[in-house]
Every structure is written in C-alpha cells, then in structure tokens.
Amino acid sequence: MAEIEIQATAVLDARGLLCPMPIVKIAKAMKGLEPGDVLRVLATDRGSIADVPAWAGSTGNVLLDWHQEGDALVFLLRKGGEG
C-alpha cells in the first residue's frame, strides 16, 4: 500500500504487545474518538498485518494505510460513523 500523508488525531503505541492486545487497545482508543478521526497505531506483532484490517472491516472502521517504519508496523485507521 502506498505511503500517504494523513494527519492523525491520536496515536496508540502498541509495540511489544502480542495477539490480541493490539486490537483490544485499538478498540479502546477508538471509543474515545469521533467519527472521521484518524488513529495512528504503532505495533510490532506481525499478526497485526492480518488482524487490524480484519478488525476494521468487522467494526465499521476504515484502514486508510499501513506500512513499516523501522521495526514498527504503522496503521492509520479512520473511525467510522455511528450506526
């Protein structure tokens, strides 16, 4: 996926966490955001490459981009609308 410039509303550092904690932390962080807000997530669990898109798809949120920065996986998630 091409790297794109997206301004994040909030940042979540999930580095060092193992399955399923990255998506548990993402879900909690998203509850504090408004629809349209963007959460930037840093993770190191390689399972997140499959887990985060699946989570976004099943919860009505949108994965805008993901890429690797050094040892970290970076995910940009936009909170979906309510309902």
Partner 1 sequence: MADAQKLVIMVTHGPDQPELASIPFSMAGGALASDVEVVMGFQGDGCLLAKKGVADTVAAPGCTPLGQLLPTIQELGGKILVCSPCCLSRGLTLDDLVDGAEIVAAGRFVAEITSATNTLTY
Q: List interacting residues with partner 1 (CB under 8 A).
A: 17-21, 23-24, 26-27, 51, 55, 58-60, 83
Q: Closer to partner 1 at the Cβ: 11 or 24?
A: 24
Q: Closer to partner 1 at the Cβ: 5 or 82?
A: 82
Which candidate in 19, 27, 49, 54 is catalytic?
Answer: 19
CB of residue 29 vs partner 1: minimum separation in angstroms? Answer: 11
Question: b/e string for 51-81 if b means 16 or more Cβ within 10 A?
Answer: bbeebbeeeebebbbbeeeeeebbbbbbbee
Q: Is 19 a catalytic residue?
A: yes
Name the residues annotated as catalytic.
Answer: 19
